[in-house]
Amino acid sequence: MELLPFFTEKHRELESTVRQFAERDVAPCAVEDEHEEARARELIRLMASAGLLRYVVPEAYGGLSPRLDVRSLCLIRDGLAYVSGLADTMFAMQGLGSYPITLAGSEALKRRYLPPVARGEAIAAFALTEPEAGSDVSAIQATANRMDDRYELNGIKTFISNAGLADFYVVFAKTDPGQGHRGLSAFVVEASTPGFVLDEKLALIASHPIGRVKFERCHIPRDHLLGEEGEGFKIAMQTLDVFRSTVAAAAVGMARRALDEALAYSQRRVQFGRPLAEFQGIQFKLAEMATELEAARLLVYRAAWKKDRGAARVTRESSMAKFYATEAAQRIIDQAVQIHGGQGVVRGSVVERLYREIRALRIYEGTSEIQRIVIARELLKGC
């Protein structure tokens, strides 16, 4: 893969480390896994021993750079998603589930939770979505009532990646239900807390541990609050600002794989006496796929680079990257399936797996429709 000017020598090295790791340790098990949970835990262990999880926390807590380097997160997701959606998810969740602590946790919370995340000894989760609050975050109904030295948490969270696997959850709940988004707060909740219930595991169209969890009179220490009461909405948005670029990077990894598979297949497959790649109709498809892929990569790494250069907010850039890259990847993968013909829909073929894996990326961490809204609002504000 050609490296872009946004990268330093360290990024070049990381790109090749991830490629080797993905080929050696992840690819052999990439196709449909009946033992998803065991494989997910195994992937965490492998990523930790390869040092990849150190990229999700700051240097002071076992990481590799003073602040999270978003280009590195993107390169890792891009490289993992090229071979396995599950590996990508497990890496991403260690970041998404711990970043609110990096962003707003007290020194004690950072020391307690971040080093085990980097060592793969603790699995993290991000519990925002509820049955009645998906795109509309301020509609969250879970409550956290302050009682002396603790909070009592009650509510249901659904579509929570790592539900049942995670050792701790960053949970968003209302401390002041009358205040809309300003009444939302964020907490660290350990899975061992009495009142925490794994309600149901959900089976998605592609491998991804996810489910619904409940908090029933769950008492959490007061010092597990992240930031101040009422800061939950901003913590969630600032976390999504960083991680939406990385979702886009995962989409780029899947699309790169689809294009590679399509290029190889179209040169191998002979119809009407010549390889498919000699037909102009196929060449047009390949050209469109490659162009969209390049445009997506540029948006992703531009957004990441801008954040790494210290921009306070990259809301518009990360939403553009997520919106464009996930939609483009869906089109690229669909064309790769089309080029493969019948082989493309055979269960277990690479492009068939990608076709299922890409779909959720246009939905999670903000649907494409929400990204359009965010981009338009930023434009209208003059950002």
Closer by beta carbon to ligand COS, 332 or else 374? 374
Q: Any contact of residue 135 with ligand COS (CB under 6 A)?
A: yes
* Binding string, residues 313-352; x marks residues near ligand COS by CB under 6 A: x-x-------------------------------------
Total chain residues near ligand COS (CB under 6 A): 21
* Binding string, residues 176-215; x marks residues near ligand COS by CB under 6 A: -----xx---------------------------------
Nearest Cα residue to 203 out of 31, 30, 36? 36
Closer by beta carbon to ligand COS, 24 or else 377? 377
Ranges within 137-176 binding ligand COS (CB under 6 A):
137-138
Active-site option among 36, 292, 357, 365: 365
Cα–Cα distance for residue pair 377/383, rounded to 1 Å: 9
Q: Where are the alpha helices (DSSP H) in the chain?
A: 9-21, 36-49, 70-81, 85-104, 107-118, 232-268, 280-308, 315-340, 350-357, 368-381
Closer by beta carbon to ligand COS, 163 or else 370? 370
Q: How far is the CB of 134 from ligand COS (least distance, A)?
A: 6
Radius of gyration over alpha carbons of the chain, in Å? 21
Q: How far is the CB of 319 from ligand COS (least distance, A)?
A: 9
Cα–Cα distance for residue pair 95/239, rounded to 1 Å: 9
Nearest Cα residue to 7 out of 70, 86, 82? 70
Cα–Cα distance for residue pair 62/292, rounded to 1 Å: 37
Name the residue number minimizing CB distance to ligand COS.
366
**Inter-residue contact 137 to 147 (CB < 8 Å):** no
Q: How far is the CB of 314 from ligand COS (least distance, A)?
A: 9
- Distance from first CA to last CA of the chain, Å, rounded? 32
Question: Which range of residues in 114-122, 131-139, 301-309, 338-346 is near ligand COS by CB under 6 A?
Answer: 131-139
Contacts of 276 (CB under 8 A, 6+ apart): 265, 266, 267, 269, 270, 282, 339
Closer by beta carbon to ligand COS, 79 or else 366? 366
225: number of Cβ within 10 Å: 23
Tokens standing for 47? Answer: 């990523």
341: number of Cβ within 10 Å: 12
Give the SS3 label for residue 121.
coil
Task: Out of 204, 237, 263, 277, point to the residue binding ligand COS (CB under 6 A).
Answer: 237
Distance from the Cα of residue 302 to its chain's centroid: 18
What sign for the dihedral angle of Cα 163, 168, 170, 176?
positive
Closer by beta carbon to ligand COS, 288 or else 378? 378
Which CA distances in Å does 163 have to 130, 201, 349, 367?
13, 7, 28, 21
Closer by beta carbon to ligand COS, 1 or else 103? 103
Catalytic site includes residue 34:
no
Q: How far is the CB of 136 from ligand COS (least distance, A)?
A: 6
Q: How far is the CB of 264 from ligand COS (least distance, A)?
A: 34
Ranges within 101-130 binding ligand COS (CB under 6 A):
128-129
Closer by beta carbon to ligand COS, 318 or else 335? 318
Closer by beta carbon to ligand COS, 207 or else 238? 238
Q: Any contact of residue 238 with ligand COS (CB under 6 A)?
A: yes
Q: How far is the CB of 178 from ligand COS (least distance, A)?
A: 15
* Binding string, residues 36-75; x marks residues near ligand COS by CB under 6 A: ----------------------------------------
**Inter-residue contact 103 to 238 (CB < 8 Å):** yes
Cα–Cα distance for residue pair 333/11, rounded to 1 Å: 26
Which residues of the chain form contacts with ligand COS (CB under 6 A)?
Answer: 128-129, 135, 137-138, 181-182, 233-234, 237-238, 240-241, 313, 315, 364-366, 370, 373-374
Catalytic residues: 365
